[in-house]
Structure formats: C-alpha cells, structure tokens
C-alpha cells in the first residue's frame, strides 16, 4: 500500500512543483497591520486607516525605529464598506495587507454617533483573516490621527494602548467580546475611550499622546449614551466583571489621611431572588493595605475590622452612585438583563424589546464585600 | 571431498599445489633421527611459534619420541594418540578440512604413513586490546567495548551472564571470508519463532564475503527499503547482555566490534545505556528532552516553513515581525534557503567524518565562519534559518545511536518538501504517512512501535518514564515470549 501511495504521490508532488502551484507567501511580501482606524467620511462612507509596520534591515525588529521616529506608516482610504476602503489602501501598497496580527481597532466617536457600527461586524466576523482578539477602543477626535501618533515607551500607539489595558487589569475588551455584547439582548457594550492630549515628557519634548479618558456606554443601537471618567468607570468595570485588579483609596472618616489598597481577585455576583425587579449586585475582592496616612494602628485587630467595615461602606456608596448613573442612561453594561433572562425567562420575554427603558426603572442594590488580607509590613504609621 | 593419504609425498604435492603461490604459508619438513618424516604447515604470523618450538620440535629433535607409560614406536603412533603437550589438539581426515584449519591459524602436523593430520590450535595473531567504545560512551557503567576477535567478544558476554542457558550457536558465512557468526540467546527467554527465523535467514545468505555485521544486517532484515533500522548494533557488551536478558537475540560477527541485536523497536533507538545507569527520576527529564528534540530534529525546518510562509497569522505578532525583518533582504524563498542550509550542514557533517583528525578544526572554522556569519552578513541567508538549522542539527545528536539519527535526517528533507509545497496540510500528510509506515513496520515479528502501538501495559514502563528496576518485574519476559 505504501508503495502504491508513493507512486501516486510522486506525480502529485511533481505537478505541484512544476506548476509552482502553492499558497506560499514570503514574509517580505506581507504588510503587517497592527492597528486599524475607522472614521466617518463624506456621504456616509467609511474612512479606514491601517497602521503598518515597516520591517527594516536592522538587527532587531524595532532597532533604531524610535530614533527616526517612524517605524510605521498609516495609509487610509474611503469606501462604502471596510473591504472597499481596504482594497483602495492595498492599491497604494507593494505588499499584501495582513490583518491577522492586528492589535487594536480604533473607532472615532463621530463614527459611532453618525454611522451604524454594527455594519462593521460583518466584515470582522465573516472574513477569517481577522483575529478577533484585538481590542476595540473609542477615540475622541480622529481615530486616524491616533494611529499616526508616537508613544514615548512603545513604538506604535496601538501596541501602547493594548499594553496599557493589560497592565491596568482590564480584560474582555476584545473585538469578539464587543460583538458578543452588542448582539446579546441583555448586555450593552462599553468602550474604553482615548483622548489625544499634549504631554510634557521632558524639559524639551512635548508631544501629543493618547491617554485614557474614561469609558463610553453604548445603547442597543450602539450610540453613545453617556461617559464616565476613569475613576468612576473602573468601579463600573468591576461591577461588569471586566477588571482583574485595581487600586482603591478611601479618605478616613475624620478627614485626616486616607487608606490605600490594592484590590485583587475582583469578582461580582448578581442575585435577583424571587422578584426580578429587585436585583442585588455584590462585588468581592481581596484587599492589601499599601499605604496608611491615618492615625490608625493597623496591626490592631479591632482597627483592622473597623477599617474593613468602613471601606466596604464607602465603596458601596460610590459604586451605588455609579450604578445609578449608568442605570439612568439605560445602558446595561453589567449584563443584568442576561442574568434575569436566565432566572426569569417568562418575565424577560415581556421586557427584552425595550430593555434600555426598563433598565432605567430597575431596582439595583450594590453590596461590597472586601476582605482585608494584609495590612502590610508595619503596624502604626512611622512617626518621628 | 578427498581424504588424506598415507603417503606424505602425495599429501605434500597436493598441498603445495593448493597453496601456490602463497608466500605466507610455511611448509617445513623435518626428518627425525629414526628416519620418519614430519611435515609442519602453518601460516606465518598466525600461530604461537614459540610454543610449538618448545613443546613439539625441540623434544622431538633433541630427545626423540616422548616415552610415557606406554612405549611409542613411531611418530605416527604418537600423533595417532594426539600425544602432544598442547591442549587444543584434534585429528582431521580430509584435505579440505585440513586446509580450512590451516587458513584459520592452526598448525597442521602430517607424518609419513598416517592417513590423517593432527591439528594444533595455536592461533596467535595481533589483535586490538579491549578499549572503551568511542561511539557509545557512557558516563557511568562498564568501560569495556567489543573488539574484532569473536572469542574475546563471546567471553565478555559469558562473563556477564553466568548461566548454562546462555547459548551460542556458531555459523560460518561467506564463501571466501568464512566468517564466523555466533547467534547468542538465552534459552527460555528468547522467542523460538525469532530464533528459527534468524537461523533460516542466516542459512540463506549467499555472499562471497562478510566483512562487517552490517552485511548480515542487510541480508536478514525484514524490510530493506524502510528507512528505519530494524536491527540495532552495539559496541557494548553490557548492552548485549541486557538485550539477551530482555529476551532478544544477539549476533556476533568475527572481525567487527559491532554486535547485532534483534528484534528492536522504534523506542530502543532513542534509549541510551546511561538511562539505566543513572537514577530513574532524572531519566524522566533526559528522555523527555531527547524525545522532544528528536521531533524537533525531524520537523523543525518543515514547521518553520509552514508557519512563516503559509500561516504567518499563527506566529505571535512580535515574533512574526522579527522574522519578517530578518528576511527583508533575502534573495531566496524560505524553502530554498532552508534546503540550501540543510544541504550544507549535511555536507559539513560528511566532510567532518572523512577528514583526518588533524584537519578537523579546518572544517569547523570554515563552517562557522563562512556559513554562520559571512552568509548572513552578505545577505544570502537570513538569521532565523541559521538558528533553525543549527537547532535541528544539534537536536539530532541527542539521539544516542548514530544509526538511529539517519532516518530522521532523511525524513527532515521529505517533510521540508511537502511543507514547502502545501504548508501544514503537507506537513500533516507527511507525519501521517510516517506513522502509517511505522505502524506497519515489524522487526522479526515485533511491531516497530510497540509497546505504544499496540499498547502493552507492562513494557510501556520503559518508554517515556523508566520505572525503577524493582517496579518493572516481569518486563524481561515480555520481550521474547509471545
């Protein structure tokens, strides 16, 4: 049998070799797209910009790129859909666009408000040459301009944005998650927002760089209904289960000093009991005290207990405020609708069509359950 | 078949004719003081002359016939009684047998009036002393290696297995070389079926000469066209002894230090003697490394081609950009580049084998400088290729036996071709074909991939994880008895 197969395979191999019929693509025939921007263009068209790495013949991939400041190019074109625009970009390029390595998709706020964002999903989902692990962010201003920016630490602004999210404990902001949130009935997507601001990096250099400005909350039709700044937003992220760790600073009740914690193992739990109109959302975390400017001696067990209780109360108050804000916009970024869908399917059938409105009048109570795991290596404050 | 006649002149004439012209044959006639003629025949340089002079010639010439309890009247009578002060003495009636014995280094004594010849086995020729085997050196364990002399080799095994059930059947193969081949096995452990097959195959060999055990290997192996060796060779008597204890059969050939072991499996090619000499916990690690690198040695170039030129989306972004940067100015396609480098690497290796020792460093300098550095700096070859090829080359040498590395070196090329044509589809097909072949292959009735496929719970204890010796009881019986 082997011999037969061998005889059969020789002509096959030969025919492939002689006709040079293969799918082979050398790496120097590819243009690696690391970031894509989506901006509105005139006449309801889309402007698609691709941030493309320039591989240079240097010892390392990015060696010397930062000095000459440009290790990349941004090429853009307009079209009726993403494909048409990308084809126009391709015409300007000597290499084949390769979107599988994309790290980030930046959508401008204008585009979200003017166009139908869900029209982008089809291309992202249908074309297998897209990896949906890239993150989706919203840019205040021009998304294309964001791509052209440099970054003091990283070589590309898209790499920088991605790493910033990772290092700050944000998860589940991939394009795939964005699409899932958008199409599901009981969850509304939220997008991290970047703003271009001038930053003074040293005594001489002042350059515009993209900075986190907060989070945008989208409704069922994917329009921005509200925005929260970063401090408030991180509480919402915790409540929607999209954050892994964060810092927390609580001013002490006597107004003198504050307690700062690192919170890890962030979790949240939604409970509705028998009544779907009353939902309890519990957030849980482990806290590690890292700074104490109050007069408390945190090696005392009673002080520890008191501090834990106080921090929980304060946190609960803050989170409830943030929750009420978001609830008033009607954007259920927490997935409470999904929870109720599973718990009360018959009740849900009557609610799902105008969930955005129904969510506004829902009674959601936030409870905090933080466990103080460590009070650090010193007891009382060091006093001279 | 002709017999030795009673007439010494007749015999002498016949032997002279047979051995003409053979400058190394010594025929010497002595006339003793009683008038009887004695003819001595031997090959110069192959016998212990001193012992013959001391024990045979001097007494006969100086003292006449030795007188023991009985009275010996003639030389013929003395030889008829094998009355020589030597241990290994026998009588031979035929002329052909006589010639055989002389050629193998015996001394022949012929006497007028006697229709037989006395053969004294006093072989003594220059041999290499027992040394440490260079190709299979181990960190711990015996430092003895087989030598060219078959009797030294059999004695080394016999010293390790002190039991009458260790059998050594002798065969003589090769029309001209008359090479002695010993079939060693332990009765009761070795499978009778395998033994019968080996005996039958040895009997069928029709060769002019057997110079090395590799000749025997090619004559008796089951699938000559398979790239995988179905017989293992070893220079180490301890490995031979262990194999015997595992129920395997060992073939020792005269004139070569390489003994053959059969039947073998795929895994035995990847196992080293050191695996049994070190504590078993560490062997888990070394074997895992070895198996992984074995796979690397056959598949890495193919995987690299498939990944970088067919599925660049599967490589992490930063690595892919690294590769793309390094390849920016390469004039050749990746497959061709890899092919060239593999070819050059194998060429260097071949050159290294044949170079005289003094010239060895030359090849390494040229290889390292020209191929390693200059080719990259000149922009002919990209750096990742050098890394891939050197890693592949080094990985192949984690396989402890040289003959086991050869199939992997060949498969490397085949997999590279199919991967270069079809990407991972081709690579997968290549691996599937390889597995089909391995599963179908047999070595003397033992499936080549056993004990993995077909699965054997007892013997599996020695494949990836070597269980401690006390935990593998019964293992030695699994090999032979089926």
Out of A16, A24, A55, name the one closest to residue B324 (CB).
A55
Interface membership of A29 toward B (CB under 8 Å): no
Left, alpha or beta for B480 (phi > 0: left; psi -120 to 50: alpha)? Answer: alpha
Interface membership of A25 toward B (CB under 8 Å): yes
Average pLDDT, chain A: 86
What per-residue confidence (pLDDT) applies to A64?
Answer: 46
In a domain, A320, yes or no: yes
- SS3 of B6, please? coil
The tokens describing A254, both together, are 């006597």
Interface membership of A131 toward B (CB under 8 Å): yes
For A54, nearest residue in chain B (alpha carbons): B325
Chain A 52-91, residues with CB within 8 Å of chain B CB atoms: 53, 55-58, 60-61
Q: Are A264 and A372 in contact (CB under 8 A)?
A: no
Out of B309, B322, B440, name the one closest to residue A25 (CB).
B309
In a domain, A384, yes or no: no
Q: A79 Cβ partners below 8 Å, 6+ apart?
A: A45, A46, A48, A85, A86, A87, A88
Shared domain check, A256 and A203: no
Chain B residues in contact with A98 by the CB 8 A cut-off are 312-313
Contact check, Cβ <8 Å, A5/B433: yes
Sheet containing A278-292: give its strands across. A246-251, A258-271, A278-292, A363-374
CA distances from B35 to A115, A221, A241, B12, B319 (A): 130, 131, 119, 17, 97
Helix, strand, coil percent content, chain A, rounded in steps of 5: 35, 30, 35
Contact check, Cβ <8 Å, B334/A101: no
Shared domain check, A298 and A163: no
- Round to whole Å and give the CA distance between A175 and A105: 8
Shared domain check, A206 and A326: no
State the total domains in chain A.
2
pLDDT band at A67 (very low <50, low <70, confident <90, very high): very low
Contact check, Cβ <8 Å, A131/B313: yes
Contact check, Cβ <8 Å, B437/A30: no
Query: Å from A80 to nearest chain B CA?
Result: 27
HSE-up (13 A, CA, CB side) for residue B323: 25
- Round to whole Å and give the CA distance between A347 and B55: 118
In a domain, A17, yes or no: no
Out of A16, A22, A101, name the one closest to residue B317 (CB).
A101
CA dihedral B13, B15, B20, B26 (to 10 degrees): -110
Query: Å from B308 to nearest chain A CA?
Result: 7
Domain end (from A228, A250, A282): A228
What per-residue confidence (pLDDT) applies to B275?
Answer: 87
DSSP for B106-123 reads: -EEEEETT-SSEEEE--B
- Round to whole Å and give the CA distance between A346 and B347: 76
Left, alpha or beta for A66 (phi > 0: left; psi -120 to 50: alpha)? Answer: alpha
DSSP for B20-51 reads: TT-TTEEEEEEE-TTS-EEEEEEETTSB-HHH
What per-residue confidence (pLDDT) applies to A66?
Answer: 45
Interface A-B: count of C-beta contacts within 8 A: 80
In a domain, A220, yes or no: yes
Query: What pairs with residue A107 in β-bridges?
Result: A38, A138
Chain A residues in contact with B333 by the CB 8 A cut-off are 24, 26
Domain span at A105: 24-228
pLDDT band at A22 (very low <50, low <70, confident <90, very high): low
Query: Å from A22 to nearest chain B CA?
Result: 6
- Round to whole Å and give the CA distance between B472 and B451: 14
Query: Å from B334 to nearest chain A CA?
Result: 7
Q: Are B241 and B186 in contact (CB under 8 A)?
A: no
Query: Å from A161 to nearest chain B CA?
Result: 15
Most confident of A317-321, A375-379, B87-91, B378-382: A317-321
Q: A303 Cβ partners below 8 Å, 6+ apart?
A: A296, A297
Chain A residues in contact with B321 by the CB 8 A cut-off are 32, 53, 55, 61, 101
Query: What pairs with residue A246 in β-bridges?
Result: A263
Shared domain check, A89 and A207: yes
Q: A367 Cβ partners below 8 Å, 6+ apart?
A: A280, A281, A282, A283, A316
Nearest to B291 by CA among B105, B452, B103: B452
Which H or E run includes B408? Answer: helix B402-422
In a domain, A150, yes or no: yes
Query: Å from B106 to nearest chain A CA?
Result: 51
Domain end (from A185, A206, A228): A228
Q: Where are the alpha helices (DSSP H) in A19-142?
A: 82-91, 109-114, 118-126
Shared domain check, A202 and A324: no
- How many other β-carbons are positioned within 10 Å of the β-carbon of residue B449? 18
Shared domain check, A369 and A352: yes
Shared domain check, A259 and A222: no
For chain A, give me the number of helices (H) and strands (E)?
12, 13
Residues in chain A: 384
| Site of tokens 């993403």 | A82
Out of A25, A34, A61, name the one closest to residue B322 (CB).
A61
Domain end (from A206, A228, A250): A228
Chain B residues in contact with A1 by the CB 8 A cut-off are 440
Q: Which backbone phi and psi does B300 adopt, to 5 degrees?
A: -60, -50
Shared domain check, A246 and A165: no
Shared domain check, A165 and A89: yes
Q: Which backbone phi and psi does A3 adopt, to 5 degrees?
A: -65, -40
Shared domain check, A33 and A159: yes
Helix axes A175-183, A118-126, angle to 10 degrees: 130
Q: B64 Cβ partners below 8 Å, 6+ apart?
A: B32, B33, B34
Q: Are B259 and B251 in contact (CB under 8 A)?
A: yes
Chain A 349-368, residues with CB within 8 Å of chain B CB atoms: none
- How many other β-carbons are positioned within 10 Å of the β-carbon of residue B151? 15
Sheet containing B232-234: give its strands across. B166-173, B179-186, B249-253, B259-262, B232-234
What per-residue confidence (pLDDT) applies to A19?
Answer: 66
* Cα B397 off chain centre by: 19
Query: Å from A85 to nearest chain B CA?
Result: 22
In a domain, A193, yes or no: yes
Q: DSSP code of B5? A: P
Nearest to B30 by CA among B51, B56, B5, B11: B56
**Ranges of each domain in chain B:** 8-120, 150-264, 280-462
Arithmetic mean of pLDDT, A324-331: 91
Candidates A2, A12, A18, A27, partner chain B, best to mutate (most B CBs within 10 A)? A27
Arithmetic mean of pLDDT, A231-242: 89
**Beta A104-108 vs A135-140: how paired, if at all?**
parallel
Query: Å from A240 to nearest chain B CA?
Result: 29
Query: Å from B323 to nearest chain A CA?
Result: 8
- What is the separation, in whole angstroms, between the first and last Cα of chain B? 44
Candidates B321, B339, B419, B439, partner chain A, best to mutate (most A CBs within 10 A)? B321
Out of A1, A16, A61, name the one closest to residue B321 (CB).
A61
Out of A13, A25, A32, name the one closest to residue B321 (CB).
A32
CA dihedral B457, B458, B463, B464 (to 10 degrees): 60
| Prior bond of B21 cis (ω within 30°) | yes
Shared domain check, A263 and A217: no
Query: What pairs with residue B171 in β-bridges?
Result: B181
In a domain, A309, yes or no: yes
Which percentage of chain A shows pLDDT scores above 90?
34
What per-residue confidence (pLDDT) applies to B352?
Answer: 81
What per-residue confidence (pLDDT) applies to A21?
Answer: 63
In a domain, A65, yes or no: yes
- Round to whole Å and give the CA distance between A314 and A287: 14
Here the ipTM equals 0.80
CATH number assigned to the domain comprising residue A244: 3.30.300.210
Out of B317, B323, B327, name the one closest to residue A34 (CB).
B317
- Round to whole Å and give the CA distance between B315 and A100: 10
Q: Which residues of chain B have pLDDT under 70?
A: 66-71, 472-482
Out of A16, A53, A58, name the one closest to residue B421 (CB).
A16
Chain A residues in contact with B328 by the CB 8 A cut-off are 28, 55-57
Shared domain check, A177 and A85: yes
pLDDT band at A1 (very low <50, low <70, confident <90, very high): low
Which H or E run includes A290? Answer: strand A278-292
Q: A66 Cβ partners below 8 Å, 6+ apart?
A: A150, A155
């Amino acid at each position: 049998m082997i011999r037969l197969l061998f005889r059969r395979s020789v002509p096959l191999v030969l025919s492939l070799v002689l006709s040079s019929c293969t799918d082979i693509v050398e790496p120097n025939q590819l243009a690696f797209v690391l970031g894509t921007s989506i901006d509105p263009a005139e006449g309801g068209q889309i402007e698609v910009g691709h941030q493309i790495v320039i591989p240079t013949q240097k010892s390392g991939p990015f060696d010397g790129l930062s000095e000459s400041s440009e290790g990349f190019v941004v090429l853009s074109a307009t079209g009726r859909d993403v494909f048409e625009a990308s084809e126009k970009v391709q015409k300007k390029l000597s290499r084949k666009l390769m979107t599988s390595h994309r790290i980030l998709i930046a959508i401008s706020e204008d585009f979200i408000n003017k166009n139908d964002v869900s029209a982008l999903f089809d291309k992202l989902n249908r074309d297998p040459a897209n990896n949906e692990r890239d993150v989706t962010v919203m840019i205040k201003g021009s998304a294309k301009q964001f791509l052209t920016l440099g970054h003091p630490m990283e070589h590309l602004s898209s790499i920088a944005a991605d790493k910033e999210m990772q290092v700050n404990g944000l998860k589940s902001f991939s394009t795939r998650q964005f699409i899932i949130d958008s199409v599901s009935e009981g969850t509304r997507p939220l997008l991290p927002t970047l703003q271009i601001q001038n930053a003074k990096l040293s005594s001489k250099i002042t350059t515009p760089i993209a900075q986190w400005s907060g989070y945008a909350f989208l409704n069922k039709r994917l329009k921005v209904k509200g925005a929260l700044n970063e401090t408030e937003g991180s509480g919402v992220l915790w409540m929607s289960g999209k954050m892994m760790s964060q810092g927390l600073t609580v001013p002490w009740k006597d107004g003198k000093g504050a307690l700062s914690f690192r919170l890890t193992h962030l979790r949240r739990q939604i409970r509705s009991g028998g009544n779907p109109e009353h939902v309890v959302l519990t957030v849980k975390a482990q806290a590690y005290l890292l700074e104490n400017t109050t007069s408390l001696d945190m090696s005392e067990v009673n002080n520890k207990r008191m501090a834990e209780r106080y921090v929980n109360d304060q946190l609960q108050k803050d989170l409830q405020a943030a929750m009420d804000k978001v609830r008033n916009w009607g954007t259920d970024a927490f997935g409470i609708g999904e929870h109720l869908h599973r718990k009360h399917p018959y009740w849900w059938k009557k609610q799902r069509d105008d969930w955005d409105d129904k969510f506004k009048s829902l009674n959601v109570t936030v409870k905090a359950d933080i466990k103080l795991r460590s009070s650090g290596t010193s007891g009382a404050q060091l006093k001279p | 078949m002709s017999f030795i006649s009673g007439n010494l002149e007749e015999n002498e004439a016949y032997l002279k004719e047979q051995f003409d012209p053979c400058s190394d044959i010594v025929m010497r006639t002595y006339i003793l003081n009683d008038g009887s003629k004695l003819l001595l025949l031997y090959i110069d340089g192959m016998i212990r002359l001193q012992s013959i002079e001391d024990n045979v010639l001097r007494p006969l010439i100086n003292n006449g016939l030795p007188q023991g309890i009985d009275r010996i009247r003639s030389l013929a009578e003395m030889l008829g009684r094998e009355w020589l002060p030597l241990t290994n003495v026998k009588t031979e009636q035929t002329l052909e047998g006589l010639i055989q014995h002389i050629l193998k280094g015996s001394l022949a004594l012929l006497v007028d009036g006697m229709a037989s010849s006395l053969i004294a086995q006093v072989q003594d020729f220059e041999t290499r002393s027992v040394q440490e085997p260079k190709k299979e050196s181990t960190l711990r364990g015996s430092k003895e290696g087989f030598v060219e002399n078959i009797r030294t080799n059999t004695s080394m095994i016999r010293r390790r297995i002190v039991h009458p059930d260790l059998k050594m059947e002798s065969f003589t193969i090769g029309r001209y070389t008359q090479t002695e081949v010993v079939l060693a096995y332990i009765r009761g452990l070795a499978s009778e079926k395998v033994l019968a097959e080996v005996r039958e195959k040895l009997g069928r060999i029709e060769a002019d000469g057997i110079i090395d055990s590799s000749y025997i290997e090619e004559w008796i192996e089951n699938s000559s066209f398979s790239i995988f060796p179905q017989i293992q060779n070893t220079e180490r008597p301890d490995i031979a002894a262990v194999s015997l204890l595992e129920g395997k059969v060992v073939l020792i050939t005269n004139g070569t230090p390489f003994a053959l072991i059969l039947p073998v499996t795929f895994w035995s090619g990847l196992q080293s003697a050191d695996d049994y000499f070190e504590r078993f916990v560490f062997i888990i690690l070394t074997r895992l490394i070895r198996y992984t690198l074995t796979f690397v040695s056959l598949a890495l170039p193919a995987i690299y081609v498939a990944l970088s030129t067919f599925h660049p989306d599967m490589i992490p972004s930063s690595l892919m950009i690294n590769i793309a940067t390094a390849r920016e100015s390469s004039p050749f396609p990746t497959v061709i580049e890899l092919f060239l480098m593999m070819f050059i690497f194998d060429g260097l290796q071949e050159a290294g084998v044949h170079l005289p020792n003094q010239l060895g460093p030359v090849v390494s300098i040229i290889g390292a400088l020209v191929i390693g550095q200059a080719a990259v700096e000149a922009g002919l070859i990209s750096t990742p290729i050098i890394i891939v090829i050197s890693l592949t080359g080094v990985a192949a040498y984690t396989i402890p036996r040289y003959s086991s590395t050869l199939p992997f070196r060949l498969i490397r090329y085949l997999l590279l071709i199919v991967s270069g044509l079809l990407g991972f589809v081709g690579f997968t097909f290549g691996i599937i074909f390889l597995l089909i072949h391995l599963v179908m292959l047999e070595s003397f009735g033992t499936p080549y991939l056993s004990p993995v496929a077909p699965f054997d719970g007892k013997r599996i204890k020695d494949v990836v994880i070597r269980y401690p010796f006390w935990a593998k009881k019964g293992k030695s019986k699994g090999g032979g008895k089926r």
